[in-house]
Structure 1
Amino acid sequence: MSGDILDNKGSGDAGWQWPAIHPEGRKYGLVVAAFSLVAALLAWETIAWPLGFLTLGVLAFFRDPERIVPQDENAIVSPADGHVSLISQVAPPLELSMSDAAGNPGLGEGPVTRISIFMSVFDVHINRTPIGGIVTRLIYVPGKFLNADLDKASEENERQHILVSRPDGLQVGFTQIAGLVARRIVPFVKQGDLVAVGQRVGLIRFGSRVDVYLPAGTEPGVILGQKIVAGETVLARVGEGKLIEGFAQ
């Protein structure tokens, strides 16, 4: 199904398929599987069975399913699977707000809406770009490994800032944040790369969070606590905003 065009008129061919395992996870799966096999050959069943289940867990963590990405120039799609843990008005981090050494503008210092998406170990951890354009900024910042659900994790945890700019001047910044268990952020792109909306840009290993900074004048199209899907859920539409309410039930 990868690369196929599907629409709301029934065009295209869609069907269920086993999700691929990202290459980053295959080596870990093979290592754990090897230990499980050795334990089984030595008749250490109390070790072999847990290692076997751990192998399946590692492979599931690194699953990389295809996503149907909306082709709408006003849509800002979710960069991560998970649930919306925070929605707040904040100033963007300095790495995204300031102009760079070449004079290219950042997001500015004024407050914008930040949507924080928490990913548990059960979510897909491949991250995608919210809009298409050029990666004009990619900045890694070492830090702590606090619980990613905490608000201060945005400023204190290990993180990687990414700024994507469209030819029409629209910019969306987002930050991959390592969490209590996550210990490595793996980029798939570099500064200067051209990316399509919903394209894979990196992953965070073993539980984490992604913050998205919406353009000024754009309000969230999702609700606090909502479950969202990377590359498919529309977080917001440029220049649009209205109150959206929901009931937990």
Structure 2
Amino acid sequence: MIAKGSEPWLFSAASVTALLAILSRATDSVPFLNYIANMGMALTFVMVIFFRDPERKVEPSDAYMISPADGTVIDIRDRKICIFMFLQNVHVNRAPISGEIKEIIYKKGGYLPAYCKDSERNERNEFIIHSKYGDVRVTQIAGTIARRIVTYSNVNDIVEQGQRIGMIRFGSRVDVTIPHNFDITVEKGERVLAGKTIIATIKNDREI
């Protein structure tokens, strides 16, 4: 399955590659076109891999929160888990908890490497999901290559845990806040999968 919103990119790459392939066959005097056409085919294949959006069976539960992104946990601070998405990761983001999208805040900014602390100044899109345990913030942060954040959801939408809410093109970072009702169960350096990896579990009644 291909990620929603990626069709124009794939169509453009495939169209240019097809045109170059036709020209390379028709114009023997320009052999380098064949090389460029092969490079175009390779790029199109890489983009198909990048824009993949595999189906993942998610059974919503109030007992835990799940990762909103594929990638590696690069930091955990102030009840916030920061997940860096490498180019090879799936870049579709999912709701870590069920609830209502109370607010979506988009901010323009720069394009520093998303793993840097200074990336707080980067372009970003923040979802505020009102759950039964309080507000959960899911922040999509653009990086040096990614310059386009795509949103699948709207304010007042009711989202189920694991539902697709958006994507960031070509690598970046997703931060998620964890309510005090939960214990964080992942560690820095751990690899996570959107909709699959449990990142926090609910505290028992005596701890809340």
TM-score higher than 0.5: yes
| Match among 87, 111, 117 for residue 121 of structure 1 | 87
Provide the C-alpha distance between the structure 2 equivalents of 1:183 and 1:218, rounded to a whole number of angstroms: 33
Q: Tell me the alpha carbon deviations over residues 67-89 of structure 1, each in whole angstroms, 9 at most, x when there is no partner.
A: 12243212111000001011112
Relative CO higher for 1 or 2, CA cutoff 8 Å, sep ≥ 6? Answer: 2
Q: Structure 1 stretch 27-36 or stretch 221-230: which is displaced more?
A: 27-36
1:86 alignment partner in structure 2: 75
CA RMSD of aligned residues (A): 1.3
Q: Which residue of 2 aligns with 1:34?
A: 15
Asked whether the 8 Å contact 1:114–1:214 carries over to 2, the reply is yes
Deviates more, 1:204-213 or 1:66-75: 66-75
Q: 1:67 aligns with which of 56, 60, 63?
A: 56
Q: Would you say the 8 A contact 1:175–1:211 is kept in 2?
A: yes
Report how many aligned residue pairs link the two structures: 196
Name the CA distance, whole Å, in 2 between partners of 1:232 and 1:116.
16
Q: CA separation of 1:194/1:88 partners in 2, compared to 1, >3 Å: closer, same or farther?
A: same
Higher strand share: 2
8 Å contact 2:133–2:179 — kept in the other structure? no
Q: Which runs of 4+ in 1 moved over 6 A?
A: none
TM-score, normalisation: structure 1: 0.76
Q: SS at the partner of 2:141? A: strand
TM-score by length of 2: 0.90
1:222 Cα deviation after fit = 0.8
Unaligned runs of 5+ in 1: 1-19, 90-112, 241-249
Structure 1 distance, partners of 2:4, 2:82, is 27
Q: Which residue of 2 aligns with 1:193?
A: 157
| Residue of 182, 196, 201 corresponding to 1:232 | 196
Secondary structure of the structure 1 residue equivalent to 2:5: helix
Provide the C-alpha distance between the structure 1 equivalents of 2:16 and 2:121, rounded to a whole number of angstroms. 36
Distance 1:156 1:121 in 2: 21
One-letter code aligned to 1:156? R
Distance in 2 (CA, whole Å) between partners of 1:169 and 1:230 is 21
